[in-house]
């Protein structure tokens, strides 16, 4: 078996954008830690897909907001592959509703995953990523679009952007890039859930490219930041087909 020269941990990799990212990085020859929170079968499916394509992968479990669980997940990836170069945090929760009626318990749950979870993962990444590596967080184009009903979600992702830009500067001299990807409307179960056909069609028509993004579109953006995009650092990269 060939020596591993690059390894990544992708959170939320059991489905949607996370799965596409894991498979895309593996296609570039990166060994991948496929993180999941609860769906072990889906994570095993991703691992199997990577392995069938000739790549290396291992499933790791944990609540991203639990520092002990995530430390163990990072340990597993390092033990399996001998290194961690790239950390991609796609794990997130989206709850929608107007500010006046928003459930505060839902707010707390979402912020625990999106803000604390991102911070916990970034904390481990800052300690473990190797020189030449990359840390990639996930924001959303909603921070620009400011659509009604998205205030709580956008606020959580605004926090992600802030910590991302600061971390890039804190890692000065380490040769590690830190960037956020901010997808626009993307055809994932998280996005499509609860939307009727008319709503989906309206959203798909908004970008000049006149379609929804796909998980693979976003994965290509991540692959660029994780690989050749070494001069892009401390940025929020909007991947939304020109919607904003």
Task: State the Cα–Cα distance between residues 141 and 44, nearest whole angstrom.
Answer: 31
Q: Could you tell me which of 106, 122, 162 has the C-alpha nearest to residue 139? A: 162
What does DSSP assign to residue 165? Answer: H
Runs of H (alpha helix) within the chain: 16-27, 40-52, 67-81, 104-111, 117-128, 142-145, 151-170, 189-192, 197-204, 215-226
Catalytic residue among 36, 119, 153, 238: 153
Residue with tokens 């309206």: 202
Reply yes or no on whether 36 is catalytic: no
Q: Could you tell me which of 186, 179, 189 has the C-alpha nearest to residue 224? A: 179
**Is 56 in contact with 69 (CB distance < 8 Å)?**
no
Catalytic residues: 153
């Amino acid at each position: 078996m060939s020596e591993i020269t690059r390894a990544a941990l992708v959170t939320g990799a059991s489905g949607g954008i996370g799965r596409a990212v894991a498979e895309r990085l593996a296609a570039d020859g990166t060994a991948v830690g496929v993180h999941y929170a609860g769906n072990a079968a889906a994570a095993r499916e991703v691992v199997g897909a990577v392995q069938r394509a000739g790549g290396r992968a291992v499933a790791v479990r944990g609540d991203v907001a639990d520092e002990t669980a995530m430390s163990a997940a990072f340990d597993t990836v390092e033990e399996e592959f001998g290194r961690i170069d790239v950390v991609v945090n796609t794990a997130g929760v989206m709850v929608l509703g107007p500010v006046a009626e928003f459930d505060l318990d839902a707010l707390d749950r979402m912020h625990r995953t999106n803000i604390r979870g991102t911070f916990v993962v970034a904390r481990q990444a800052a300690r473990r990523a190797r020189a030449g590596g990359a840390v990639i967080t996930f924001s959303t184009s909603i921070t620009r679009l400011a659509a009604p009903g998205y205030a709580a979600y956008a606020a959580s992702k605004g926090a992600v952007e802030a910590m991302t830009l600061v971390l890039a500067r804190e890692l000065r001299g380490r040769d590690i890039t830190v960037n956020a990807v901010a997808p626009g409307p993307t055809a994932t179960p998280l996005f499509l859930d609860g939307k009727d056909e008319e709503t989906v069609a309206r959203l798909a028509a908004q970008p000049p490219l006149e379609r929804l993004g796909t998980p693979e579109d976003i994965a290509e953006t991540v692959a660029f930041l994780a690989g050749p995009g070494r001069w892009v650092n401390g940025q929020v990269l909007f991947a939304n087909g020109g919607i904003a």
